[in-house]
C-alpha cells in the first residue's frame, strides 16, 4: 500500500530547522572536527602553490572551516544561524584563508558554480525530505569544479530515535519529545541503497561509503551514520 502525505513546505521545514539549530548552537559549541572529515581531507593531494577553494555547508560552530584552512583551503561557509556567522568572523576573521561567510539557505544566490575543490556537508543533508536532498546534491555537484570532492553524511534507519515523531514523508519525521535533544527537528533516515542512488543520480562517482555506529547514554541509545566521499568527474 502506497502511503500518502500532505504536501511539504520547504520554507516551513527550513524555519523549524533554523530554530532547532539556533538553540543547539547556543547550548553546545563544538571545538573539534569529526575524525571522518579529517580523514577525508587527509586523503586529498594538494599543491601548496595553487589556491584551493573549500565550502562548508551548515558550518555550525566553525570547526570544519578551521580544519579547511589548516589544510590550506580558502574556506567559505553557509549557515542558517546568524550567531554562527558572528562567531566564526570573530574567531577566524584575521585568517587570510577565511573566505565568504553566507547566512541563509545555500540554494540562495551568492555561491559560484564550478568553483569549489572540496565541499563538506556534515550533519545537515538529512534535515530535509528525500526529494529536497536530491535537489541539494545536484546543486552541490554544480558548485564543485570538475574533479572536486564531497564529504557528506546521512542518518541510517538504525538510530534509536528513528520514527519518534510525526511522519511527513517517506522516512522523514518532525521529531517529538521522545527523541530527546533531537526533538523539534526534521530528520530523514536512509537505507544504504538510497544513499548510493542519491549520490549517483546527482552525477557523482562514489569513492567511499562507510557506516559508523556508536552507543551513548550508558549504551541505551544507538546512533548510526552513513559517511560518503564522492567526486565530480572530470
pLDDT digits (tens, 9 = 90+) for 85-116: 999 999 999 999 999 999 999 998 789 999 99
**CA 18/CA 95 separation, integer angstroms:** 27
Domain annotation covers residue 80: yes
**CA 152/CA 29 separation, integer angstroms:** 21
User: What proportion of the chain, given as a percentage, has pLDDT over 90?
Assistant: 88
Number of compact structural domains in the chain: 1
Domain annotation covers residue 161: yes
Domain annotation covers residue 160: yes
Q: What is the pLDDT of residue 28?
A: 78
Domain annotation covers residue 226: yes
Domain annotation covers residue 2: no
Q: What is the pLDDT of residue 199?
A: 98
Strands 221-231 and 205-216: antiparallel
Q: What is the pLDDT of residue 110?
A: 83
Nearest 10 degrees: Cα torsion 11, 154, 122, 187 = 30
Q: What is the pLDDT of residue 49?
A: 62
Sequence-ordered list of residues with C-beta below 8 angstroms from that of 183, at least 6 positions apart, any chain: 165, 175, 176, 177
Q: What is the pLDDT of residue 48?
A: 64
**Apex CA 18: angle with CA 17 and CA 19, to 5°?**
90
Strands 73-79 and 98-103: parallel
**CA 20/CA 36 separation, integer angstroms:** 24
CATH code, domain with 98: 3.40.50.150
What is the length of the chain?
Answer: 234
Q: Residue ranges of the chain with pLDDT lower than 70?
A: 1-2, 48-49
Domain that holds residue 209: 10-231
Q: What is the pLDDT of residue 30?
A: 79
Q: What is the pLDDT of residue 46?
A: 73
Amino acid at each position: 500500500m502506497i502511503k500518502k502525505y500532505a504536501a511539504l513546505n520547504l520554507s516551513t521545514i527550513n524555519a523549524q530547522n533554523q530554530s532547532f539549530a539556533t538553540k543547539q548552537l547556543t547550548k553546545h559549541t563544538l571545538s573539534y572536527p569529526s575524525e571522518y572529515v579529517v580523514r577525508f581531507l587527509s586523503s586529498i593531494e594538494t599543491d601548496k602553490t595553487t589556491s584551493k577553494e573549500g565550502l562548508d555547508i551548515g558550518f555550525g560552530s566553525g570547526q570544519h572551516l578551521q580544519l579547511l584552512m589548516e589544510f590550506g583551503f580558502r574556506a567559505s561557509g553557509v549557515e542558517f544561524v546568524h550567531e554562527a556567522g558572528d562567531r566564526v568572523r570573530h574567531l577566524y576573521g584575521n585568517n587570510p584563508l577565511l573566505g565568504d561567510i553566507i547566512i541563509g539557505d545555500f540554494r540562495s544566490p551568492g555561491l559560484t558554480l564550478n568553483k569549489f575543490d572540496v565541499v563538506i556537508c556534515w550533519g545537515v543533508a538529512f534535515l530535509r525530505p528525500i526529494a529536497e536532498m536530491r535537489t541539494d546534491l545536484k546543486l552541490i555537484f554544480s558548485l564543485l569544479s570538475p574533479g572536486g570532492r564531497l564529504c557528506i553524511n546521512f542518518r541510517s534507519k538504525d538510530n534509536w530515535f528513528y520514527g519518534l515523531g510525526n511522519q511527513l514523508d517517506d522516512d522523514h519525521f518532525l521529531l517529538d519529545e521522545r527523541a530527546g535533544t533531537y526533538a523539534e527537528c526534521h530528520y530523514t533516515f536512509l537505507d544504504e541503497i538510497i544513499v548510493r542512488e542519491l549520490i549517483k543520480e546527482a552525477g557523482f562517482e562514489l569513492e567511499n561509503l562507510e557506516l559508523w555506529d556508536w552507543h551513548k547514554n550508558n549504551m541505551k541509545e544507538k546512533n548510526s551514520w552513513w559517511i560518503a566521499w564522492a567526486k565530480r568527474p572530470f
